[in-house]
Amino acid sequence: MRKMENMAYESLDVRIEDRIAWITLNRPDKLNALTPDGMHELRRVFTELDDDEDVCVAVLRGAGERAFCAGMDVKWSEGLTPAERIEQGRLGEKTFAMMERLSIPVIAAVHGYAVGGGLELALAADFIVASDNAKLGLVEITLSARPPYQPKFMNGEPDPDQPAFGGSAPGWGGVKRLPKRVGKAIAKEMLFTGIRLDADRALRLGLVNNVFPAEEFDKEVAALAERIAAMNRYNLRLVKELVDNEYDWIEPHPS
């Protein structure tokens, strides 16, 4: 196993072992919530991995027992100016798009909470696998909801992301990626209500590919990653490009 030692990361732990990159969101005391610094770190990791011929697959996961990622760090968000709020939305979308376009497969290994921007991050992976304790949802609309649907941590306060005029919606790519996974009707239900799905319903709806018992989750994720890592890197890249761009493979390039 080796670490990516040429850069120090404050909010990530990145290790490479046997052609697998393990990217761990490492703020467990904050439920691995995202900040601009964390997203800039992710961008640097993605750039390095895309050029690393010794890596064939990446696994994105969260540290601690409680969450994959709880989305945007609310304490950080509260202090944003309107202009900064626009820019953080653009930063999140650009960061997740970078991950989506990586030349290697990316697996989001979700346990605990994957809500708001945390689910948007997972949706930018090639697919999601979940622990049976996972809770997944794009909950942003509930932040400005009336009781009892507004989260308790809001304490009845207004949503800082709600503009004085007009509306607000998930801004890190969830509104375009979620319908591709579950269909428009289910996506609208999730977005209109802000519900959190348990792992079983997420599996039935196609939001996640598989669900594993919590006590076996790490082992099962590792086995899946090891199988993909055994494949030819160039074939993985080609298949991902063909599927993502809806191309057909007519005949091979001449050698």
* pTM (two decimals): 0.91
* Sequence-ordered list of residues with C-beta below 8 angstroms from that of 130, at least 6 positions apart, any chain: 110, 111, 136, 199, 202, 203, 208, 210, 211, 212
Q: Mean pLDDT over residues 221-227, rounded?
A: 98
Lowest pLDDT segment from 92-106, 137-151, 198-212? 137-151
- Based on the residue annotation, tell me whether 140 is a catalytic residue of this protein: yes
Band the pLDDT of 112: cuts 50, 70, 90: very high
- In tens, the pLDDT along 18-66 reads 999 999 999 999 999 999 899 999 999 999 999 899 999 999 999 999 9
The pair of structure tokens assigned to 6 is 């040429």
121 versus 74: the higher-pLDDT residue is 121
DSSP-based three-state secondary structure for 203: helix
CA separation for the pair 46, 42 (Å, rounded):
6
CA separation for the pair 34, 11 (Å, rounded):
9
CA separation for the pair 136, 62 (Å, rounded):
14
CA separation for the pair 142, 73 (Å, rounded):
16
Catalytic residue among 84, 140, 157, 241: 140
Domain residue extents for the chain:
2-245
Band the pLDDT of 7: cuts 50, 70, 90: low
Report how far apart, in Å, the C-alpha atoms of 6 and of each of 39, 53, 106, 165, 218 are: 18, 17, 22, 46, 27
Query: How, if at all, do strands 2-3 and 12-17 pair?
Result: antiparallel
Q: What is the pLDDT of residue 6?
A: 47
Of 199, 212, 86, 183, nearest in space to 137 by CA: 199
Phi-psi region of 175 (alpha: psi -120 to 50; beta: other; left: phi over 0): alpha
Q: What is the pLDDT of residue 202?
A: 98
Catalytic residue among 48, 120, 189, 216: 120
Cβ atoms 49, 21 nearer than 8 A = yes
Q: Is the pLDDT of residue 78 over 90?
A: no
CA separation for the pair 73, 55 (Å, rounded):
30
- In tens, the pLDDT along 140-194 reads 888 888 889 888 777 777 777 677 666 777 788 899 999 999 999 999 999 999 9
CATH of the domain spanning 2-245: 3.90.226.10
Extract the runs of DSSP E, i.e. beta strands, from 34-93. 57-62, 67-69
DSSP-based three-state secondary structure for 222: helix
Q: Is the pLDDT of residue 229 over 60?
A: yes
Band the pLDDT of 203: cuts 50, 70, 90: very high
CA separation for the pair 90, 23 (Å, rounded):
22
Cα angle 218, 33, 116; round to 5: 90
